[in-house]
C-alpha cells in the first residue's frame, strides 16, 4: 500500500548551503577576485561585487528566512583570505565577524556546518605556488586551527574541503577555474596535497574539539556508459569514474592517492572521515572522444532528460539514490551536503526537490544512515565561472537593490522542513503531476 507521507528521522538536518565568495561580497584578496578581473574568464564579464552582501550584514535577514522556513541547520564557508590576509598576519576582526555569524545561526535554531575550503584561495598563497606546493597542507592547517579555535563554541560539524575533485579538474585539467591550467602533473600534485591537507586538518580539528565531526563534501556523478556496444566507451567510463569519483574519496580509506595513472602514499589520510558528504546534481553518460584536451572523454545527459534553463543540470532523481548507495561503501553516516537546480522559473525546481527527496527517503526507508539534506542554495548567488547567469536559490536576488525575491519553492521547502518529510498534501499542492507517480503505484 502506498505511503501517505514520506517521513524522515526525528533528528534529521534540514538546511541550505552557501559558500563565502558567492554570498559575502567584496572579497578582494582571493584568486577568484583576480579571475573575475581577467578578461574572458567569467560569462559576460560579470563580477561578484556585493554578491548577497553578507559581509554587509544581510546574512541576518537570510538566516531569519531560513529559520522561518523550518530549517534547523545551515552550511556556510569561511573565506581564508579574510582570516589570513597575508602569510604573516591574522585578521581578528574577521574572525570575530564569523563568530557573530555562527552565533547568530545558533540563536536562530540553526546548527552551523562550516566548510574550511570552498574553491577560493588567498592571492598570497597562490603566489607561493598554491596547492601545487608541498608546503601548502601545513599552511592550510594553521588556518584551520585558527578558525576552529575561534568558532568551536558554536560549531562542531566541519567540512575540510568542498569538491576537491572538482577543484582539481576545473582548475588544473580543464582550465575553467583559477589558475586556469591544463597540466596533468600539476593536477596530481594538487590532488595529493589536498589529501594531505584534509588529513592534517582532520587531526588538528579533533585535537582542538573532541566532539567534532569532520567530513568532505564529495562531488559525485553517477556515470553511465553512453554506448554499451563500444569498448572505448567502457574505458572512458572506468577512467572518468575512478579519477573523478573515487581517487580522492578512496584515498581516505586506502592511504594512497591513485590519480591519472600515478600513485603516492599518504598513510595519514586513512580513516579521516566521520561522515560522507555528497554533492549531487546530475547523471552523465560518458563516451570516448578524440579530444586530448578533454582527456579523450565526452559527456552527455541521459537522452530525454528534463533540463534546467541553461542546460546545466538534468533532472535525474535516481542518480541521488545511486550516489547514496555509493557512499554506503564507507560504512559511515551520510549527509547530502548539496543538491539543487538552477532556473529563475520555479516549476522544475519544485519537481526536482520533490523527486530527489523521495529518492533520499527511499534510502532512509532501507535503514541507510542519512543524517541531513542541504539544498543548494538559499538565495541566488555568484555561480563561479558562470557568474550571475544561473539562479539556484529558493529565493531570487535583485543584484541592483539586494532585494530577495520570493519563489514558490520557498513554501515547498518550508512545508517539507516543518513536516519533516513529503506529505501527500504538499506534493499535490506544489508538484501535482507527481502525485500519481509517487502515491499510486
Residue 2 binned pLDDT confidence (cut-offs 50, 70, 90): low
Q: What is the DSSP string of 280-313?
A: ----EEEEE-S-GGGTTEEEEPPTT-EE-TTS--
Structurally, the chain folds into a number of domains equal to 1
C-alpha cell of residue 61: 535577514
Q: Is residue 50, in this structure, part of any structural domain at all? A: yes
Q: Give a yes or no: residue 229 inside a domain.
A: no
Rg value, the chain, Cα: 21
**What is residue 175's predicted lDDT score, i.e. its pLDDT?**
98
pTM: 0.98
Domain span including residue 406: 5-222+269-287+301-439
pLDDT tier for residue 441 given thresholds of 50, 70 and 90: low
Say how far residue 43 (Cα) sits from the centre of its chain: 21
The string of pLDDT tens digits covering residues 217-232 is 999 999 999 999 999 9
Q: Which pLDDT band, with edges at 50, 70 and 90, does 372 fall under?
A: very high
Q: Which DSSP letter does residue 131 get? A: G
In tens, the pLDDT along 298-307 reads 999 999 999 9
Residues in contact with 389: Cβ distance below 8 Å, sequence separation at least 6, in sequence order = 43, 44, 46, 310, 383
Model confidence pLDDT, tens digit, residues 138-174: 999 999 999 999 999 999 999 999 999 999 999 999 9
Average pLDDT score over residue span 10-32: 98
Cross-strand partners of 356: none
* pLDDT tens per residue across span 404-429: 999 999 999 999 999 999 999 999 99
pLDDT of residue 440: 74
Work out the pLDDT band at 1, boundaries 50, 70, 90: very low
Q: Kindly report, residue by residue over 171-213, the tens digit of the pLDDT.
A: 999 999 999 999 999 999 999 999 999 999 999 999 999 999 9
| Average pLDDT of span 335-354 | 98
- State the Cα–Cα distance between residues 22 and 5, nearest whole angstrom: 35
Exposed, middle or buried by CB within 10 Å (0-12, 13-18, 19+), for 371? middle
Task: Identify the pLDDT of residue 69.
Answer: 98
Asked whether residue 232 is domain-assigned, the answer is: no
Residues 45, 28: Cα–Cα separation, whole Å: 16
Distances (CA, A) of 430 to 78, 224, 347, 349: 35, 31, 8, 10
Kindly state whether residue 243 falls inside one of the protein's structural domains. Answer: no
List strand residue ranges (DSSP E) for 238-360, in order: 256-259, 262-265, 275-279, 284-288, 297-300, 306-307, 314-315, 334-339
Q: What is the pLDDT of residues 378-397, one digit of tens each?
A: 999 999 999 999 999 999 99
At 249, the pLDDT band (50, 70, 90 cuts) reads: very high
Q: Per the domain annotation, does 109 fall within a domain?
A: yes
Domain contains 417: yes
Segment 53-78 shows an average pLDDT of 98
CATH number for the domain spanning 429: value is: 3.20.20.80
Query: Does a structural domain hold residue 73?
Result: yes
Backbone φ, ψ for residue 332 (5° rounding)? -135, 165
What mean pLDDT, rounded, does the chain reach? Answer: 97
Residues 6+ apart with CB under 8 A from 80: 30, 116, 117, 120, 121, 122, 125, 143
Kindly state whether residue 254 falls inside one of the protein's structural domains. Answer: no
Amino acid at each position: 500500500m502506498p505511503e501517505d507521507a514520506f517521513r524522515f528521522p526525528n533528528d534529521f538536518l534540514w538546511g541550505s548551503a552557501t559558500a563565502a565568495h558567492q554570498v559575502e561580497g567584496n572579497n578582494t584578496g582571493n584568486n577568484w577576485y583576480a579571475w573575475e578581473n581577467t578578461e574572458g574568464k567569467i560569462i559576460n564579464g560579470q563580477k561578484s561585487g556585493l554578491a548577497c552582501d553578507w559581509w554587509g550584514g544581510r546574512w541576518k535577514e537570510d538566516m531569519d528566512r531560513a529559520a522561518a522556513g523550518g530549517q534547523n541547520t545551515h552550511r556556510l564557508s569561511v573565506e581564508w583570505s579574510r582570516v589570513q590576509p597575508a602569510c604573516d598576519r591574522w585578521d581578528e576582526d574577521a574572525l570575530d565577524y564569523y563568530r557573530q555569524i555562527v552565533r547568530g545561526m545558533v540563536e536562530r535554531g540553526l546548527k552551523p556546518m562550516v566548510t574550511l575550503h570552498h574553491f577560493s584561495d588567498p592571492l598570497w598563497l597562490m603566489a607561493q605556488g598554491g596547492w601545487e606546493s608541498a608546503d601548502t597542507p601545513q599552511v592550510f592547517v594553521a588556518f584551520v586551527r585558527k578558525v576552529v579555535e575561534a568558532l568551536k563554541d558554536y560549531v562542531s560539524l566541519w567540512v575540510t574541503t568542498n569538491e576537491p575533485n572538482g577543484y582539481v579538474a576545473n582548475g588544473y585539467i580543464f582550465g575553467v577555474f583559477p589558475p586556469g591550467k591544463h597540466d596533468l602533473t600539476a593536477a596530481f600534485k594538487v590532488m595529493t596535497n589536498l589529501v594531505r591537507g584534509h588529513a592534517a586538518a582532520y587531526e588538528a580539528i579533533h585535537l582542538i574539539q573532541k566532539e567534532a565531526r569532520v567530513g568532505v563534501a564529495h562531488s559525485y556523478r553517477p556515470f553511465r556508459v553512453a554506448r554499451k556496444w563500444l569498448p572505448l566507451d567502457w574505458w572512458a567510463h572506468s577512467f572518468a569514474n575512478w579519477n573523478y569519483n573515487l581517487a580522492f574519496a578512496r584515498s581516505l580509506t586506502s592511504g594512497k592517492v591513485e590519480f591519472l595513472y600515478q600513485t603516492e602514499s599518504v598513510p595519514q589520510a586513512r580513516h579521516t572521515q566521520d561522515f560522507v558528504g555528497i554533492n549531487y546534481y546530475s547523471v552523465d553518460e560518458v563516451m570516448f572522444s578524440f579530444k586530448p584536451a578533454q582527456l579523450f572523454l565526452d559527456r552527455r545527459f541521459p537522452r530525454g532528460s528534463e533540463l534546467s534553463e541553461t542546460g546545466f543540470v538534468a533532472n535525474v532523481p535516481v542518480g541521488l539514490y545511486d550516489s547514496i548507495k555509493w557512499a554506503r561503501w564507507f560504512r559511515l553516516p551520510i549527509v547530502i551536503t548539496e543538491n539543487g537546480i538552477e532556473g529563475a522559473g520555479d516549476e522544475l525546481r519544485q519537481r526536482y526537490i520533490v523527486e530527489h527527496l523521495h529518492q533520499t527517503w527511499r534510502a532512509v526507508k532501507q535503514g541507510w544512515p542519512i543524517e541531513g539534506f542541504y539544498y543548494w542554495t538559499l538565495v541566488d548567488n555568484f555561480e563561479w565561472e558562470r557568474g550571475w547567469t544561473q539562479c539556484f536559490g529558493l529565493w531570487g536576488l535583485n543584484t541592483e537593490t539586494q532585494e530577495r525575491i520570493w519563489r514558490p519553492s520557498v513554501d515547498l521547502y518550508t512545508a517539507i522542513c516543518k513536516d519533516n518529510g513529503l506529505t501527500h498534501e504538499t506534493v499535490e499542492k506544489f508538484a501535482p503531476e507527481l502525485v500519481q507517480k509517487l502515491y499510486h503505484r
